[in-house]
Structure 1
Amino acid sequence: MQPSPDPFVPHAAAADPGVGEVNATDLGTAGIAVIGGGVVGAAIAYGLTRQGEDVCMLDEADIAHRASRANFALVWVQGKGWLPAQDRAEPDYAILTRSSAAAWQDFAAELEAQSHVAVHFAGPGGFNLALSDDALEQRRIMLQRLDATPGVGSSGFEVLGRNALMKILPDIGPDVVGGIFCPLDGHVNSPKLLHALHVASQRLGLRFLAGAAVREIVPVTRGFRLATAAGTLTARRIVISAGLGSERLAAMVGLHAPVRPIKGTIMVTEKLAPFLHHPITNLRQTNEGGVMLGGSTEDVGYDDSVGIGISGALAARAVQMFPRLASASIVRVWSGLRVMSPDGLPVYEESARHPGAFVCLCHSGVTLAAAHALMLAPMLSAGRIGAPFASFKTARFDVPAPV
């Protein structure tokens, strides 16, 4: 791609981030540069490309802390929008999650048609299993309060006692007292999803630059100059969706987007005959037959090593819920770092200081992939973030703590 004939003159040099080296190779120009090639960035890039935008997606090398490694591949509605620490609902997040889940069937079909990659989306509804009557009742009350929040509406959840649950999940263990079913829940093959997004986007004309970690963003008169490990790219607009690297990059364009890593550990069993036809909050059987065990959260900074203790706890809980798993061999265990804002909610915002620079980050990239591609991307293409995404601006983090 040839550089634009318009002169790009820097306003001022950006602060040196002090991270890695910058390559001076000229990478040309792009209409929109999406920084980050994980599920969030790839979904946005796909959505922008299908809008006819000239998109370049820049991705770091595989040594990056990729949140996509730690996702459990659920398309999940049940409980989304409830903030336990504040004992209240965030209706716009519930609405956003449900809108995305409702769009997933058509989104998956479109993506598969564009990429010729099967993502194996299934939306049979999902369960949260309870190991005590008190836990079951507390969750019922929470979901009832969430659905009763103005603007949210019913999720159609249903509380099932043990006998009713066994008709659907006959392999549950004796400690499972019941569960809650939500018909809006589903799951997908996460690696296939990421691959499909990349393939479909590039078939539609996206330019993908791997090993192009962005070191510096310099606002210029008609856009932004990105200094990367692969060279320098100039773009009229940018979308920062670089996961845990987003805070550093957002600061370069006048945005405060604090994030912290939350470690999640995932285990996968050998391939088993199909027995689990609905995803569970913390375990699911994939289309390939293996059972994934997850649901852990550890606030341990950037340590992504696998701990024996947490692995043992995941395995013990899985066997308690489904005793037949006791004889299954674990074939893979890994940990990854999820992206978490201070309140656990997403961040979507355009810079007031440097219009045309957007930051988009969340910790539910798989669930929200349909919304990012089909709802958010057209807004970014038009240059304005609207509802319900507009509710998640970074100014909420600037509220003084109570004395």
Structure 2
Amino acid sequence: MESDYAIIGGGVVGLSIAWGLLKRGRSVTVIDGDDGSFRASRGNFGLVWVQSKGMNQPRYAQWSQGSAAAWSAFAAELGEATGHDMGLRQDGGLSLFFSEDELAKTVSEYEELKAKLGGDYPYEVLGGNALRGEEPHIGPAVVGAILHHQDGHTNPLRLLQSLAQDVRRLGGRVLNGKQVTAVDKQDLFRLTCADGTEIRARKTVLSAGLGAIALGPAMGFKAPIRPQRGQVLITEKMPKIINRPSLIARQVDEGGIQIGATNEEVDYNNDVTHSGVAQLAADAVNAYPLLARVNLIRSWGALRILSPDGLPIYQESTEMPGAYLVTCHSGVTLAAAHARFLPDWLEGTQDAPNLEVFSEARFS
């Protein structure tokens, strides 16, 4: 069977792209990995986050802002089609500071970025008293915070489930447990899987996360990405104690407190470690002392996908025109952009976003 698009990777990134293409009437086959695949989408912290992104590349801030602005309508449409509530809250997010000097330094950096964005960077600084008015359970070690009004959070597993469900409803094929081992192109792309399955398509999108390291060079991409481990904890369900998410902790829509995340360069090791869990717990209690009396019920580790500069990569192959590499570490934040805006780039329409700064040329 032939499709307009074959999408390698059935995580949030690949499914968001598939959903957007199906909405435009394209036929799509998604090839999802086997049980041994590293799955960043299942270890996600669930933030829809703009704050601090693009400090060295304002276009990344704009791309994240555009996605955050599109998220509400995206979640509503997906929720209406599937009957699932994405748990989206977008009433701001907090960066917590334990040092006045660090807070002042960050504000100075934000002001520089705000100027580059023409003033479009809506944040405010909360001193200790103002912060505790917003978040009564913040501890005394926190001297202040930056509240960014474009930030929020969602339920990442429900997002993944809903995308997979609606892609199928819209007529997309999702092939689970398939490992693509080779891609070649004549008139059409031919993708060969380890079990002998073959898929043919007019265009191909490589959005397989860390799987792009092996497949990318064979398709004409540099794919200079690496894994970074993040360990995460979640507590028992609690009454409402955290109003806005931070990078330290957020209260999920189901009531638990999610605590995270580490940033560890440990190659392909996604284990949970005693030292990692202990540090996360200590940081969370330092910020929210009430958590010292709360039971942890689960911990897990997952591997982020990072480019050398931390920015996404959007690249069409020069060796295999019609093949595209799409990879990023902010799959949840950028889900709305990948569903709403990226199809124009893949289709080459007049509305295509300018993604030139995210090409692999920057690594030459």
Q: Could you tell me the TM-score, scaled by structure 2's length?
A: 0.97
Shift of residue 129, structure 1, vs aligned partner: 0.8
Distance 1:384 1:232 in 2: 33
Of 388, 391, 394, which residue of structure 1 is paired with 2:360?
394
Q: Is the 8 A contact 1:347 1:392 kept in 2?
A: yes
- Residue by residue over 1:337-369, the C-alpha shift from the partner in whole angstroms, topping out at 9 and shown as x without a partner, is 000011111000111221110110000000000
- Residue by residue over 1:254-295, the C-alpha shift from the partner in whole angstroms, topping out at 9 and shown as x without a partner, is 121111000000000000011111111221000100000013
- Counterpart residue type for residue 119 of structure 1: M
- Residue by residue over 1:306-356, the C-alpha shift from the partner in whole angstroms, topping out at 9 and shown as x without a partner, is 111111011001001111100101100000000001111100011122111
- Counterpart residue type for residue 192 of structure 2: A
Which residue of structure 2 lines up, in the alignment, with residue 80 of structure 1?
53
Which residue of structure 1 lines up, in the alignment, with residue 43 of structure 2?
70
1:48 aligns with 2:7: no
The unaligned stretches of length 5 or more in structure 1 are 1-27, 83-88, 399-403
1:29 aligns with 2:2: yes
1:95 aligns with 2:62: yes
RMSD after superposition: 1.4
Distance 1:189 1:388 in 2: 29
Distance 1:351 1:368 in 2: 22
Distance 2:70 2:283 in 1: 32
Shift of residue 53, structure 1, vs aligned partner: 0.5
Q: Is the 8 A contact 1:48 1:378 kept in 2?
A: no
Distance 1:385 1:308 in 2: 49
Which residue of structure 1 lines up, in the alignment, with residue 290 of structure 2?
324
Q: Is the 8 A contact 2:248 2:283 kept in 1?
A: no
Distance 2:346 2:119 in 1: 28
Shift of residue 378, structure 1, vs aligned partner: 3.0
1:59 aligns with 2:38: no
Distance 2:219 2:351 in 1: 17
Secondary structure at the aligned position of 2:244 is classed as coil
Structure number, greater radius of gyration: 1
Shift of residue 384, structure 1, vs aligned partner: 8.9
Of 191, 205, 217, which residue of structure 1 is paired with 2:171?
205
- Residue by residue over 1:217-251, the C-alpha shift from the partner in whole angstroms, topping out at 9 and shown as x without a partner, is 0111x121101134111111100000001132221
Q: Is the 8 A contact 2:103 2:145 kept in 1?
A: yes
Secondary structure at the aligned position of 1:333 is classed as strand
- In the superposition, relative to structure 1, how do residues 343 and 260 fare at CA in structure 2: closer, same or farther (>3 Å)? same
Deviates more, 1:236-245 or 1:136-145: 136-145
Which residue of structure 2 lines up, in the alignment, with residue 266 of structure 1?
232
- In the superposition, relative to structure 1, how do residues 113 and 92 fare at CA in structure 2: closer, same or farther (>3 Å)? same
Shift of residue 396, structure 1, vs aligned partner: 1.3
- Residue by residue over 1:117-136, the C-alpha shift from the partner in whole angstroms, topping out at 9 and shown as x without a partner, is 21111101011111111121
- In the superposition, relative to structure 1, how do residues 396 and 353 fare at CA in structure 2: closer, same or farther (>3 Å)? same
Q: Is the 8 A contact 1:119 1:193 kept in 2?
A: yes
Q: Is the 8 A contact 2:313 2:328 kept in 1?
A: yes
- Residue by residue over 1:42-86, the C-alpha shift from the partner in whole angstroms, topping out at 9 and shown as x without a partner, is 11111111111010000001221111133210000111101xxxx
- Counterpart residue type for residue 66 of structure 2: S
Secondary structure at the aligned position of 1:335 is classed as strand
Identity level (%): 43
- Counterpart residue type for residue 75 of structure 1: V
Q: Is the 8 A contact 2:342 2:353 kept in 1?
A: no
Secondary structure at the aligned position of 1:148 is classed as helix
Which residue of structure 2 lines up, in the alignment, with residue 134 of structure 1?
101
Distance 1:228 1:213 in 2: 5
Q: Is the 8 A contact 1:39 1:68 kept in 2?
A: yes
1:278 aligns with 2:244: yes
Paired positions, count: 363
Of 178, 199, 203, which residue of structure 1 is paired with 2:144?
178
Of 168, 171, 176, which residue of structure 1 is paired with 2:134?
168
Q: Is the 8 A contact 2:48 2:68 kept in 1?
A: yes
Q: Is the 8 A contact 1:47 1:378 kept in 2?
A: no
Which residue of structure 1 lines up, in the alignment, with residue 341 of structure 2?
375
Distance 1:342 1:302 in 2: 17
Secondary structure at the aligned position of 1:92 is classed as helix
Q: Is the 8 A contact 1:94 1:152 kept in 2?
A: no
Deviates more, 1:135-144 or 1:299-308: 135-144
The unaligned stretches of length 5 or more in structure 2 are none
Distance 1:211 1:294 in 2: 29
Which residue of structure 2 lines up, in the alignment, with residue 13 of structure 1?
none
1:348 aligns with 2:314: yes
- Counterpart residue type for residue 146 of structure 1: L
